[in-house]
């Protein structure tokens, strides 16, 4: 079965990075924008990063300008914005498209694996989040309105920081 570890992404400097380097890590993949009403979610994403990075969480932000032109900057400007305004220390990748004919292959895969509201495939807005387990399997898709800190329990479950339920022990 295919998983996210089969994909390559580009960092903000345009260098190709294989996602297989994140095997045995839990990923939170988010399409972001600097001029969006949800942009303050960068702060909570950074809090998640600080809280869980040592347990194996990796947050990957992918700037995208497809929603209301809310990410007009180039990669360098985006990096500066995230650092200056939110102290972001998790990876902010190269700007991409998440929908349409030029959509990044990783996001095509994510959309196939986890549908949105009413089983829609397309990403509807900035700050859609995908939680991916240690095996590279997409666990769940979260709407832009879902605040990052609301994902703590789901992240902890994937990091195996939460005790197993009786049902899980029996399996």
36 is an active site residue: yes
Sign of CA dihedral 115, 116, 118, 121: negative
Say if residue 169 is exposed, middle or buried (CB neighbours under 10 Å; 0-12, 13-18, 19+).
exposed
* Residue tagged 């345009």 (tokens): 14
* Residue tagged 């990044």 (tokens): 104
Task: Check 36, 64, 82, 152 and give the catalytic one.
Answer: 36
User: Residue 65: CB partners within 8 Å, gap ≥ 6?
Assistant: 33, 71, 72, 95
- Residues assigned a catalytic role: 36
């Amino acid at each position: 079965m295919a998983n996210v570890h089969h994909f390559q992404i580009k960092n903000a400097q345009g260098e190709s990075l294989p996602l297989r380097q994140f095997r045995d890590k839990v990923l939170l993949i988010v399409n972001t924008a600097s001029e969006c009403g949800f942009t303050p979610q960068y702060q909570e994403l950074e809090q998640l990063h600080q809280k869980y990075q040592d347990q194996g969480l990796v947050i990957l932000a992918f700037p995208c300008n497809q929603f209301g032109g809310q990410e007009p900057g180039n990669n360098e400007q985006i990096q500066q914005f995230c650092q200056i305004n939110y102290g972001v220390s998790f990876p902010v990748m190269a700007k991409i498209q998440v929908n349409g004919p030029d959509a990044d292959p990783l996001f095509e895969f994510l959309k196939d694996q986890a549908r949105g509201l009413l089983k829609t495939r397309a990403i509807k807005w900035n700050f859609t989040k995908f939680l991916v387990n240690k095996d590279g399997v997409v666990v769940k898709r979260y709407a832009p309105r879902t605040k990052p800190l609301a994902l703590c329990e789901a992240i902890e479950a994937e990091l195996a920081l939460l005790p197993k339920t009786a049902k899980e022990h029996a399996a």
